[in-house]
Structure 1
Amino acid sequence: NSFAQLYDALKDPQITGTEFKQKAINWLNLFLTKSTGSFNSPTFIKGLYRPNDITPYIHIMVYHVGEFKDLHQKFGMTGFSCSAIKKKNHQQ
């Protein structure tokens, strides 16, 4: 599972932001795999997702997290978690 590998790379302090960004771009290319072949033929292979399926979270992961990883190494990725804020918003 390439997303699991990307997630592991995110937590790995040995992976630089540049390396992470390249891995994320490779994952995005897999995510956006297009359908191939004729629709009703036995050789048809359904693609995964369309560019319209890219969420802001995916965009940030692919194009910005690598930079954050380099700039804020001392915090680790937990410094960017919004879970406490989301929890607070749900309690109101």
Structure 2
Amino acid sequence: MRYRIPDTILLQAVSDEMVILNPETGVYFTLDAIGTRMLELLRQLQDEEAVADVVVSEYETDRNTVLSDLAGLLAKMAAHGLAEDCGHEAS
């Protein structure tokens, strides 16, 4: 896993979307249904490659697109203090 969501970050499902909030800074994101699914899977599986496998099986998309979208989302979240870049840790 390259990124992780710190325990201090609050996540709340709202309909088929998710709101992610850093209560210390007030920074928040809202994710659509697919972004929500990817983040839920990441928290559960703790592996970006495994997330891509599941998302590809559930949606009509290709693996490279999923990996690129997930990496972009996590990098953006990390830039705003909503995720931590853990580098390339061994599982």
Q: If the length of structure 2 is used for normalisation, what is the TM-score? A: 0.30
> Larger % of helix: which?
1
**Structure whose alpha-carbon radius of gyration is higher:** 1
Q: If the length of structure 1 is used for normalisation, what is the TM-score? A: 0.30
> Larger % of strand: which?
2
Higher RCO structure, 1 or 2 (CA under 8 Å, sep 6+): 2
